[in-house]
Amino acid sequence: MVTELPPFAEVAIWCAMAYRAEDVEHAAKGLPVPLWDILHTLLRRNPAVRFATAAELETVMRARLAQLGPDAGEETW
């Protein structure tokens, strides 16, 4: 069964294929370690080691955000 993809899907697929691990490492440079750990888990090749659900991801993100403290969002990038 073939399903139609939304118009942006081709671009999204192309971008996902074009970026290398080094590109992601460079883009993520400077992230706090707890957030880098989340990103690393999201990008794992093996689905069994990624977050199983969005709810699981939310739980982990909220816990890690609490670890960063109240001033974590005030940095200027």
Q: Is residue 1 part of a domain?
A: no
Q: Is residue 74 part of a domain?
A: no
Q: Is residue 29 part of a domain?
A: yes
Q: Tell me, what's the pLDDT at 53?
A: 96
Encode the chain (77 residues) as per-residue pLDDT tens digits: 457 878 778 887 787 777 777 888 888 888 888 888 898 898 888 999 999 999 999 999 999 888 877 766 555 44
Domain coverage including residue 40: 21-69
Q: Is residue 37 part of a domain?
A: yes
Q: Is residue 9 part of a domain?
A: no
Pair of tokens at residue 4: 């139609």
Instruction: Supply the pTM of this predicted model.
Output: 0.60
- Counting the structural domains of the chain, the total is 1
Q: Tell me, what's the pLDDT at 75?
A: 54
